[in-house]
Amino acid sequence: MLQSLDKHLHIVALDVPYPVDYGGVFDLFYKLVALKEQGIRIHLHCFEYGRGEQQELLKYCEEVNYYPRKEGHKGFSLSIPYIVASRNDATLWERLAKDKHPVLLEGVHCCYGLHAGLLKNRRVLLRLHNVEFEYYNHLCKWESSMVKKAYFKHESRLLKRFEKEIANLATIVTVSKKDEQIYRKQFLAKDTHFLPVFFPNQKVTSKEGQGTFVLYHGNLSVAENEKVAIWLIEKIFNDLEIPFVIAGKNPSERLKHLSHSKPYICLVENPQEAELNDLIQKAQVHLLPSFTNSGIKLKLLNALFKGRHVIVNQEMIDGTGLEKGCQLANNPKEIKYHTYRLFHKNFSMQDIALREQLLATHFNNEEHAKKLISWLW
């Protein structure tokens, strides 16, 4: 049932949320769709730095305003994290000051005005995409470039202080229970909620029976994802002779070389969406360990909605509530054992039914939109 049509909402997004072609914009875009279906009149404000203005967004928004991100030295600050300082625009805060409609800030990235006291005396929700200081600390850990490593470490320090300072300036809405607990315990946030991501797949399309290979997929230009892929080759498939496919964007020369080191390992570079979906549905086992435990990974949701057996470690599954849909394995010995076991185990209609029940509980865009509305008004 639609809400009253006099409800106006400002949403400030860290990036242009269309096209929906990378993990960070799924929650952003499908939230717009779900709120529009509830009759909310959305005034979208987004920072544009390469994705361009998108007419598609006007289907869901009353208006869409674009602001340039101050990249490079123009967005640098000694006291404010770069991801925040580079998204400070005076025109944005002036527009928001013209009325008293609630404001939904998408990511710590968009919180310059909140921190500066420009959103006082109005309802503000902050949608956390990660506990950002932890995320940048993990980026530092897995980065090989000393220059980038120093940047990530510096940004993590600034973010930790910044996140503590804004923790009680808005209602906090997290994508994982773990992130909510960090804000409550470490930053003493008093008004927090857990809300799973908005996601396009509302139906499980996993196939019963057996696939023919094990799959790891992700954006391979991201340092952590490359490290995971290399680790799987060196620690799991060093002597586990089962067909293993790695799929993703822009793999490095090192990863290309390693993937050709075994006859049963295959690398699929830059697959199109249709090809990747085909791989996900045809795989027998999805091998998805993670070296970081921040937020929730889109590749995990894709595997659960579309794939067969899923193996994860604690870092991947922590705080998601999706443990019952996965096989937990935390070291090479456990991963090898369960990979071999599940590679030969039929994926049944009962498995599909259990997954449908689990995901229907966690990913219902209509119910999520209604919860957001109740917290905004």
Residue 16 shares a structural domain with residue 138? yes
What pLDDT is stored for residue 346 in this prediction? 97
pLDDT at 109: 97
Task: Determine the pLDDT at residue 47.
Answer: 97
pLDDT at 4 over 80: no
Same domain, yes or no: 125 and 237: no
- pLDDT-wise least confident of 33-47, 88-102, 187-201: 187-201
Q: Give the per-residue pLDDT at 231.
A: 96
CA–CA separation, 83 vs 79, rounded Å? 12
SS3 217: strand
Residue 131 lies in a domain: yes
Q: Each residue of 233-254: pLDDT tens digit?
A: 999 999 999 999 999 999 999 9
Mark whether 150 and 275 lie in a shared domain: no
How does pLDDT run across 127-141, given as a tens digit for each residue?
Answer: 999 899 998 998 888
Kindly report the CA angle at 43 between 39 and 46, in degrees rounded to 5?
130
Residue 143 placed within a domain: yes
CATH of the domain at 280: 3.40.50.2000
Tell me what pLDDT residue 201 has. 67
Query: Dihedral, CA atoms, 144, 27, 167, 158, nearest 10 degrees?
Result: 20
- Reported as a pLDDT band with limits 50, 70 and 90, residue 5 is low
Cross-sheet strand order for the sheet of 309-312: 265-269, 244-248, 214-217, 285-288, 309-312, 327-328
pLDDT at 138: 85
Residue pLDDT, tens place only, 323-336: 999 999 999 999 99
Question: Does residue 235 lie within any of the structural domains?
Answer: yes
- Say whether pLDDT at 1 is over 50: no
Q: Identify whether 285 is part of a domain.
A: yes
Q: What is the pLDDT of residues 156-180, one digit of tens each?
A: 999 999 999 999 999 999 998 889 9
E-strand stretches of 289-367 = 309-312, 327-328
Q: What's the number of domains the chain is made of?
A: 2
Are 151 and 300 in the same domain?
A: no
pLDDT tens-digit series, residues 45-96:
999 999 999 999 999 999 999 999 998 878 788 899 999 999 999 999 999 9
Is 206 contained in some domain?
no
Least-confidence region, from 6-20, 21-35, 112-126, 175-189: 21-35
Is 189 found in the same domain as 42? yes
Same domain, 248 and 178: no
Q: What integer pLDDT is reported at residue 163 of this predicted model?
A: 98
Same domain? For 228 and 82 the reply is no
193 and 224 in a single domain? The answer is no
Co-location of 80 and 143 in the same domain: yes
Residue with tokens 């990036």: 15
The per-residue DSSP string of 93-148 comes to HHHHTTS---EEEESGGG-HHHHTTTTTTS-EEEE-SS-HHHHHHHHHHH---HHH
Geometric angle at alpha carbon 115, from 80 and 155, rounded to 5°: 25
Residues 255 and 323 in one domain: yes
- Residue 161 forms part of a structural domain: yes
Answer whether residue 55 is part of any domain.
Answer: yes
Judge whether residue 2 has pLDDT over 60: no
Beta-carbon count within 10 A of 77 CB: 14
* Nearest residue to 195 (alpha-carbon basis) of 64, 104, 261, 77: 104
Domain endpoint, select from 171, 199, 227:
199
Task: Provide the sign of the torsion angle of the four alpha carbons 58, 60, 66, 69, taken in this order.
Answer: negative
Same domain, 164 and 64: yes
Query: CA 119, CA 121: separation in Å to the nearest integer?
Result: 7
* DSSP-based three-state secondary structure for 303: helix
Nearest residue to 185 (alpha-carbon basis) of 225, 109, 131, 112 = 131
Residues 179 and 252 in one domain: no
Rounded Cα distance, 48 and 16, in Å: 6
* Location of structure tokens 């850990």: 141
Q: Which domain holds residue 48?
A: 8-199
pLDDT band at 40 (very low <50, low <70, confident <90, very high): very high
CATH number, residue 87: 3.40.50.11720
Residue 374: which H helix or E strand, with range? helix 365-376
